[in-house]
Amino acid sequence: MRIATISHSIVRISGLIMLILGVIIWTGNADFLVPVHIFIGALLVIALWTLSYVAGRSGVSMGLVITVVILGLVLPIWGLAQEQILPEANHWIIQVLHLLLGMAAVGMGEMLAARMKRANVRSANA
């Protein structure tokens, strides 16, 4: 389960970094950080998918695992396309949705990790 622990840690750390970078970029003062934000976002998605794989193999609900994998697909597509969606005055709506998707991804990573721990405790007690 070492890979799960590492992936879970990467989801947590990269999620926090993404939140901080996102807020800094959102203020309009650090557009040069967008490539860093994209790179760390890719790490987050890879870690989330790795965690999903391990969770699926650990007996976590396949519905949850598939939902997390799909979220991992949607998040970067949304993030990379957001500049073209609803530009100008109402663009903040798209940015808020991107933030919520990112927070959901980290939350789903936490949920996967918790369910894996419960599944491992149950199998150890059986």
Looking at residue 122, its pLDDT comes to 64
Looking at residue 43, its pLDDT comes to 96
Query: What is the C-alpha to C-alpha distance for residues 72 and 90, in angstroms, rounded to an integer?
Result: 25
Query: Which has the closest alpha carbon to 1: 42, 57, 48, 49?
Result: 57
Q: What is the pLDDT of residues 27-82, one digit of tens each?
A: 888 889 999 999 999 999 999 999 999 999 999 999 999 999 999 999 999 888 88
Return the biggest CA–CA distance within the chain: 58
Model confidence band, residue 89 (pLDDT cutoffs 50, 70, 90): confident
Mean pLDDT of 82-108: 88
Looking at residue 79, its pLDDT comes to 87
Looking at residue 92, its pLDDT comes to 84
Residue ranges in the chain assigned as alpha helix (H): 2-26, 34-57, 62-81, 91-125
Query: Could you tell me which residue, 5 or 92, shows the higher pLDDT?
Result: 5
